[in-house]
Amino acid sequence: MKIYVINGPNLNFLGIREPQLYGRQTYQDLVDSVRSWAEEMNLEVEIYQSNHEGDLVTKIQEAYGKADGIIINAAAYTHTSVAVLDALKAVAIPTVEVHLTDIQEREPFRRHSYVSMAAEKMICGKGFEGYREALEYFCKKQTDRT
Ligand code: CA2
């Protein structure tokens, strides 16, 4: 099973700024954790980060015909991007939305998520662990299929 893990703007700054919100671990730590969890679960992962909306759309489109699942933290584009939503709907690949923080408990403008409209599941407020849970969700699907 191949899973695309797509991360949006500023997540490459993890561990550098705002540790009180996002923790002290870096984006590279996140990538390493996701790779090692995926290996344990026998999932193949392609991990991608971009600060550009159009690049995220292109990556989602690239998943068409290649990926069995998408894990996406669209970061700020979660709350603004109809383009990301349309791309997720267009490819129609099972999608899990992840957020490091609990977006329901932050500023009101973070409560609405366009991504949710195309996602089977949302995991938020669990830090890096949320990505592990998202991988587990697909791992379980894989087991149920066999
Ligand atoms: O909680 C999340 O994962 C978010 O997707 C993170 C986004 C935010 O816009 C969403 O509302 C919730 C922001 C990612 C920015 O990451 C930074 C990391 C370190 C320093 C500054 C920003």
Between strands 95-99 and 121-124, the pairing is parallel
Active-site option among 4, 48, 77, 99: 99
| Helical residues (DSSP H) of 19-145, grouped into ranges | 19-22, 27-40, 53-63, 82-91, 129-145
Query: How high is the pLDDT of residue 17?
Result: 83
Q: Is 79 a catalytic residue?
A: no
Residue nearest to atom 16 of ligand 1 (CA): 11
Spell out the per-residue pLDDT of the chain, length 146, in tens: 999 999 999 999 999 988 899 999 999 999 999 999 999 999 999 999 999 999 999 999 999 999 999 999 999 999 999 999 999 999 999 999 999 999 999 999 999 999 999 999 999 999 999 999 999 999 998 888 87
pLDDT of residue 103: 98
CA distance 96 to 138: 9
Q: What pLDDT was estimated at residue 123?
A: 98
pLDDT at 39: 98
Centroid of ligand 1 to alpha carbon of 145 (angstroms)? 34
Q: What whole-number distance in Å separates Cα of residue 3 and Cα of residue 79?
A: 23
* 69 bridge partner residues: 3
Q: Ligand 1 — pocket residues by CB below 6 A?
A: 10-11, 13-14, 17-18, 22, 73, 75-76, 78, 99-101, 103, 110
Residues 99 and 79: their CA atoms lie apart, in Å, by 12
Phi and psi, residue 101, nearest 5°: -100, 170
Q: Is 0.85 surpassed by the pTM of this model?
A: yes
